[in-house]
A and B are shown apart, each in its own frame.
Chain A
């Protein structure tokens, strides 16, 4: 009788434990390998995009080592140093020589816009993880965005500044040579002024700007409450260093990816950047999905936004491949990427529409006490 009870207990315990886990059916390896290209800056001023992004990609593969049909993914990685010409060369090589089925890129809007120019000819799906410029998907059937675009980001930033920070006057900065910066600054400014806010200055910075102090003195005279800085990390740091010397402490807001670059590449500047707000893709403390919790565990450590996009981007690509009869069929994979609906990302659902635009939550983070602090999430 006791033995019977013990067996019954074991059966119940096994059944209960089975209920607690999602059982993945075992996949038999097919022996076939599908090549997927990764183009990202692994050197130069933005190397964190490549390093963190690739770590995220590898995490996604660790979570799903084989496709549903047993095919294995082989990563072919190329460093474009965030340079448009090098990005185009890398794409051509990956498609023509390495016969990749798809490309995931962690390059910024400039290089991706350049790649978009030849994507149609190459007929290869490109998933742009970080390029937020709205034109990367324009007139182009093969480049899809994983990130939100500048229209959404600019609007949310303007609404947050106006309705939550209750700011009336802003000075907007942009880098003349950056598609991304110019575009985002315009989106922000348009929305902010449409909400009744006033732009005291609209500053176009040259690359490696000289005499920032004089520039900022001029801005200060018009008494803006907030400086909007959709710039490269080095430019933001240079401006904040100058503000610090001036003893002027306006509120500061920047854009996607900047805080991830600071955390990965400029940790020593965290103290100086205290209070800096930014639109972003991810924060560890934001409410995570089940997938987000599993991914964070597999990632081992608190990832940056780049790492988060790496996991999400590759998981979406694998999801798209799994929905194709032949996962190496570029056309099918491209179609499936562009029909991603309510895919469970790390902090919310992600959909990619037929125009290649992603619809996903945005977070606003800040640097406080040398740490990245989560402020709000916008759906």
Chain B
């Protein structure tokens, strides 16, 4: 059974005076005294004398004026919005139907709620400072609008410095595009991103701080917004969250503060909560929904906001960069692990010797499984990844140490494999050795993909075991072992080819890992480009011989494919070509082919055959033919 007030003051504007009839004709038969808002504001003490309940109907500023008076005088308030006010309806769920609104406004069971004042201005739904892409949008906004609005702003986001202070005297200096202060965030987009049980009567206000430090982070943020079904435990990277009784905000430049959509004040702003300051008639359903479930406490989630040197970067440009950056504090564990990887220790030296010996033996045995074992045992990948990170962050110490570690590892590998070669009495060139003598651009592609995988695996602890796969994909020690074999045989072409493959793998991994670290947001706030430029230069230099090799592979494939359909009629003898194989020996092109024919090939026939090849095929070929006769 609903309880209604016996009397009420009806505060209206000239436009809303007509609603008086509805109140007077309400079933409660409450005594309604109408008064114009201007009259009330002219002499509130006189008008509000002996008033316990006020029903207000008018625009937002009228409602706010009455609420301010309610905070001072203690009367309860029933609200009848003059016209559907979306923001108000979303936050307080006032009925749109005038009769239902009148019924709620005259109820005698108001709910006690807090009042948030920002520089003395009441905040009914939210206060916004700066640019907060999409956070202020309703939670049920469509995906298309998220995409359109989100991408429209993508190149206009700029971070500026802010200082936030809470009631708990916590000071946060950061860079952000903007922030939003609100009472409770039910039904807003912020609720999708920040899991919190905020309520209208918990004595706290909240602030969501938007700080996408890069376009890539902003895109991730948009993608997360697009998927409302996923509940995330972490606050997104681009977001910070404060909950306190008092939130003070200072910005680098003086900015407008939009309270409930209207410019009311400018920064610096102090938003404070007046606990249980108002008694307002709201629907029982909403009252239940936003009642405090447990005692609230101050909460500060600012780990993802820029700090330290990142602040310098944030203020550097007009708009945010494409890739993220990070100060060292952000990834302390990873950097510590990589520094350790750059240090030379006994285990590394022993493993280098063992893996090279294993690889060299496997190469002589022509055993792929033994060589794979050596690849898994080889510890070279760790300093290479550390070097990539060092180059990305311009950390000279890490670069020097990891380079030294790699060079010592290379020296050990070459020495160990040379020694094994000198000890072995036989000198077979096995298939596994030959496979490492003709590096091409395709090997570079393998190294680049592996470098990406290595950096990615290293960045996430949960997939660190995948590094083993990377080690197999791009073998580092076997080419070094083949190069060492070349030294042992004093065959420097052999050495050069295998060492070129190793260099390809090394440089490819470094470049790809460095770029991957950059994309993943590990580059420093203040970056050094010199070292990375040097590695790129080496990559280009290595690319030249690799391109030549790749060109050869393409020529070989095309020629071998075409020759399967080539036939010759030489001195009346029909020659069928089978299995043509193009090889390079001493810089010359040699075609080893199997020819099938019916008649005996004389020297004269062979010469005529060679002449036909020279006539019709560009470039000089040396022909080696095995003859199969048709009986």
Contacts and interface: CB of A to CB of B under 8 A. Distances in A.
Nearest to B612: A379
Interface stretch (A131-139, A159-167, A257-265): A159-167
B630 A361 contact: no
A377 interface: yes
A163 B574 contact: yes
B566 A379 contact: yes
A332 B20 CA distance: 116
Given A163-B574, A163-B598, A164-B576, A155 B616 contact: no
A195 interface: yes
Q: Which of A152, A164, A374 has the most CB of B within 10 A?
A: A164
Contact of B615 (A195, A349, A376): A349
Nearest to B574: A159
A156 B569 contact: yes
Given A160-B574, A195-B598, A342 B615 contact: yes
A187 to B, nearest CB: 12
Interface size bracket, B side: 10 to 19
Contacts, number: 46
B565 A376 contact: yes
Given A163-B598, A195-B598, A156 B574 contact: yes
A247 to B, nearest CB: 32
Nearest to A360: B616
A163 B572 CA distance: 13
A348 B566 CA distance: 11
A159 B615 contact: no
Interface size bracket, A side: 20 to 34
Given A348-B616, A349-B616, A163 B569 contact: no
Given A160-B574, A163-B596, A348-B616, A376 B562 contact: no
A361 B566 CA distance: 10
A152 B569 contact: yes
A287 interface: yes
Contacts of A379: 566-569, 612, 615-616
Q: Which of B572, B574, B576, B598 has the most CB of A within 10 A?
A: B574
A122 interface: no
Interface in A146-201: 152, 155-156, 159-160, 163-164, 195
A215 interface: no
A108 B547 CA distance: 50
A377 B566 contact: yes
Contact of A287 (B562, B572, B574, B615): B562
A155 B572 contact: yes
A349 B615 CA distance: 7
Contact of B569 (A287, A375, A378): A378
Contacts of B615: 342, 349, 379
A374 B574 contact: no
Interface in A15-54: none
A163 B630 contact: yes
B27 to A, nearest CB: 84
Interface string B331-367: 0000000000000000000000000000000000000
Given A159-B598, A160-B567, 14 more contacts: A152-B569, A155-B574, A163-B576, A163-B598, A163-B630, A164-B576, A342-B615, A376-B565, A376-B566, A378-B567, A378-B569, A378-B574, A379-B569, A379-B615
Question: Closest 5 interchain pairs by CB?
Answer: A159-B574, A378-B567, A287-B562, A376-B565, A348-B616
25 contacts: A156-B569, A156-B574, A159-B574, A160-B567, A160-B574, A163-B574, A163-B598, A195-B598, A287-B562, A348-B616, A349-B615, A349-B616, A361-B616, A374-B565, A375-B565, A376-B565, A376-B567, A377-B567, A378-B567, A378-B568, A378-B569, A379-B567, A379-B568, A379-B569, A379-B615
Interface of B: 562, 565-569, 572, 574, 576, 596-598, 612, 615-616, 630
